[in-house]
């Protein structure tokens, strides 16, 4: 039990345990071993977290923005200093290879804390001249916000939500996914070390019912969810009941378009990154790869060659590029999609099986898969698989591919690869997606808004856009003349 935390929850600056809650085993996906056991939050724990957050929020909002920003920036520094330890936890919790977690998880969380710490002192209102009288606006916190996370980027998701929320003067209660509860506890601890008041970020563990209890509590002003579309519908509905603010970061089935003038090796690199990174468990993945018919054969030949040389294995070995899926259930679901792809007539060019890795026989590994001959009506082209399964589709002209790319309920992301910038900009202007990439894929710097349209959600994380999502504007009219009253 190498990763057993001191207690399941972190509330009011301290680890908190209540063993009467439902036990949750934390499994290392590479071996199937239980590395920790925690307990789902009871009503007592949830109340404790809420009361403490209400207190902390009042204290925090009264601090100067410069001081608040300094705390966030200090937390970013501590995260970077502790990156290896945090990455090892994340690798054990998610199964993602250390090669990835060392650069993409806590580091991305630290970027968010640094970015929002930097802009905290600039968050403010405006003055409106009214010819004598004037008005001004104040940008005020919402109060206690709830963050609910998915399991694919646990510490990144917690940081992306906490950093802008705290920058605006809110407190946050974060509920990690029940599959990956460990790293958010560390973030809460780091904020205390950085000088945040006890209770500013409380972490409570649990299944969906704990998320639901937090979402409906009258003390909660806002809910930000990263999760699937069905969960999004439920959380949105219960937040609507209490007229709470919401941000929804949901699923996707994003298109990645490779025009015939693209640098093929670069486009293949982008497509592999956008399908196989984190063993394909990324919401914005470009899982529908539309390749122009003129370059299709060459593209597929090199794609298969490069896929064959991906190193799968021990996630703690930094040379390993692909780890297991997060759980046995997730692998089963993905393998089901591979079967459906074959049954519905797509050609499986490579992968889709279970690799044999010595010493890791009980892990949830899967070989990255590439399907060709995929058509728009096939299940694998329509549903989010959330695993390393790439579908290659052919196209002939620009209008056709844009229409097909947009023909989905989702709208999280999209990518285009072309040497012609006019064509690229025209294409992205027509793509129905919240986040687009030109000649690259899946880069999400803290300064760029990230989020989806249509069923992929709304509201944006990162950048100044996130400040709008965690604050509200108060208008103040200042009368300088006697009241012009008709009475
Ligand atoms: P999920 O929807 O099963 O769970 C997400 C979170 O919601 C978990 O913490 C879960 O406990 C909680 N939850 C479940 N029911 C709830 C309820 N009724 N009320 C409140 N909370 C509830 O998603 P998952 O399987 O953990 O993650 C995978 C999904 O997340 C994929 O669809 C993926 O695309 C999406 N995702 C989106 C983004 C994004 O930024 N758009 C990022 C990562 C993952």
Task: Read off the pLDDT of residues 306-351 as tens digits, 9 standing for 90 and up.
Answer: 999 999 999 999 999 999 999 999 999 999 999 999 999 999 999 9
Among 249, 253, 384, 436, the one annotated catalytic: 249
pLDDT exceeds 60 at position 6: yes
DSSP reduced 3-state for 15: strand
Share of the chain above pLDDT 90, in %: 100
CA of 208 to the centre of ligand 1 (A): 9
Determine the pLDDT at residue 312: 98
pLDDT exceeds 60 at position 99: yes
Out of 150, 253, 446, give the residue to mutate to test ligand 1, the one with the largest number of ligand atoms within 8 Å of its CB. 150
Alpha-carbon distance values, 214 to 5, 8, 173, 264, 427 (Å): 23, 17, 8, 48, 41
Tokens of residue 389, six digits: 């399964």
Determine the pLDDT at residue 258: 98
Closest among 287, 277, 385, 282 to 321, alpha carbons compared: 277
Determine the pLDDT at residue 324: 98
CA of 193 to the centre of ligand 1 (A): 29
Ligand 1 pocket check for 249: Cβ under 6 Å: yes
Ligand 1 pocket check for 213: Cβ under 6 Å: no
Determine the pLDDT at residue 2: 80
Closest among 108, 102, 122 to 76, alpha carbons compared: 108
DSSP tag of 421: H
Relative to beta strand 435-438, strand 413-417 is parallel
Could you tell me which residues come within 8 angstroms of residue 162 by beta carbon, excluding any fewer than 6 positions away? 113, 147, 172, 174, 187, 191, 201
DSSP H or E segment with residue 14: strand 14-16
Give the model confidence (pLDDT) of 152-184 as tens digits. Answer: 999 999 999 999 999 999 999 999 999 999 999
Share of the chain above pLDDT 70, in %: 100
Closest among 189, 194, 248, 191 to 224, alpha carbons compared: 248
For the CA of 249, the closest atom of ligand 1 is 41
Whole-angstrom distance between the N-terminal and C-terminal Cα of the chain? 77
Helices (H) and strands (E) in the chain, counts: 16, 20
What is the average per-residue pLDDT within 420-440?
98
In the beta sheet, which residues pair with residue 350? Answer: 370
What is the average per-residue pLDDT within 288-317?
98
Determine the pLDDT at residue 294: 98
For the CA of 231, the closest atom of ligand 1 is 2
In the beta sheet, which residues pair with residue 471? Answer: 141
- Is 265 marked active-site? no
Q: Is the C-alpha dihedral spanning 442, 446, 447, 453 positive or negative?
A: positive
Give the model confidence (pLDDT) of 381-401 as tens digits. Answer: 999 999 999 999 999 999 999
| d(C-alpha 288, C-alpha 270), whole Å | 12
Among 100, 114, 145, 161, the one annotated catalytic: 161
Contact between residue 185 and residue 203 where contact means Cβ atoms under 8 Å apart: yes
What is the average per-residue pLDDT within 252-273?
98
DSSP reduced 3-state for 415: strand
Mean of pLDDT over the chain = 98
| d(C-alpha 91, C-alpha 98), whole Å | 6
DSSP reduced 3-state for 220: strand
| d(C-alpha 192, C-alpha 296), whole Å | 53
Tokens of residue 253, six digits: 């089935």
Q: At what angle do helices 43-61 and 208-216 cross, to 10 degrees?
A: 50
- Is 461 marked active-site? yes
| d(C-alpha 244, C-alpha 312), whole Å | 44
Ligand 1 pocket check for 235: Cβ under 6 Å: yes
Tokens of residue 191, six digits: 């904020």
Ligand 1 pocket check for 253: Cβ under 6 Å: no
Relative to beta strand 389-395, strand 369-372 is parallel
The band of 88, judged by pLDDT with boundaries at 50, 70 and 90, is very high
pLDDT exceeds 80 at position 1: no
| Burial status of residue 356 (CB atoms within 10 A of its CB: 0-12, 13-18, 19 or more) | exposed
């Amino acid at each position: 039990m190498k990763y057993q935390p001191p207690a399941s929850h972190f509330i009011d600056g301290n680890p908190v345990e209540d063993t009467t809650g439902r036990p949750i085993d934390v499994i290392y996906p590479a071996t199937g071993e239980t590395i920790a056991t925690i307990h789902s939050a009871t009503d007592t724990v949830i109340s404790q977290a809420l009361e403490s957050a209400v207190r902390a929020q009042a204290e925090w909002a009264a601090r100067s923005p410069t001081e608040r920003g300094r705390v966030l920036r200090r937390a970013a520094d501590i995260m970077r200093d502790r990156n290896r330890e945090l990455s090892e936890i994340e690798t054990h919790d998610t199964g993602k290879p250390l090669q990835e977690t060392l650069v993409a998880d806590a580091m991305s969380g630290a970027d968010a804390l640094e970015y929002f710490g930097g802009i905290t002192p600039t968050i403010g209102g405006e003055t409106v001249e009214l010819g004598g009288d004037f008005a001004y606006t104040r940008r005020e916190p919402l109060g206690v916000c709830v963050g609910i996370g998915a399991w694919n980027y646990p510490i990144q998701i917690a940081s992306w939500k906490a950093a802008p929320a705290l920058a605006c003067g809110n407190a946050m209660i974060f509920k990690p996914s029940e599959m990956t509860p460990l790293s958010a506890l560390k973030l809460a601890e780091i904020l205390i070390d950085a000088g945040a008041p006890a209770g500013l970020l409380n972490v409570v563990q649990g299944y969906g019912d704990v998320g639901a209890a937090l979402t409906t509590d009258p003390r909660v002003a806002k809910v930000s969810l990263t999760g699937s579309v069905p969960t999004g519908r439920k959380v949105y509905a219960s937040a609507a009941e209490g007229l709470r603010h919401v941000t929804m970061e949901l699923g996707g089935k994003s298109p990645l378009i490779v025009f015939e003038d693209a640098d093929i090796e670069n486009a293949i690199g982008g497509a592999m990154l956008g399908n196989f990174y984190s063993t394909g468990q990324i919401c914005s993945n470009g899982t529908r790869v539309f390749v122009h018919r003129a370059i299709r054969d060459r593209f597929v030949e090199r794609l298969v060659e490069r896929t064959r040389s991906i190193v799968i294995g021990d996630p703690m070995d930094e040379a390993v590029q692909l780890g297991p899926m997060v759980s046995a259930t997730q692998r089963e679901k993905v393998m089901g999609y591979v079967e459906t792809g074959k049954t519905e007539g797509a050609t499986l060019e490579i992968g889709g099986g279970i690799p044999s890795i010595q010493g890791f026989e009980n892990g949830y590994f899967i070989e990255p898969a590439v399907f060709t001959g995929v058509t728009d009506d096939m299940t694998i082209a329509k549903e989010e698989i959330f695993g390393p399964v790439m579908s290659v589709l052919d196209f002939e002209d620009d209008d056709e591919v844009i229409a097909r790319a947009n023909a989905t309920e989702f709208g999280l992301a999209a990518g285009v690869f072309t040497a012609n910038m006019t064509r690229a900009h025209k294409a992205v202007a027509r793509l129905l997606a919240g986040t687009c990439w030109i000649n690259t894929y899946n880069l999400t710097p803290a300064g760029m808004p990230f989020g989806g349209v249509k069923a992929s959600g709304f509201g944006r994380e990162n950048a100044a856009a996130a400040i709008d999502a965690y604050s509200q504007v108060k208008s103040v009219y200042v009368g300088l003349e006697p009241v012009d009253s008709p009475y």
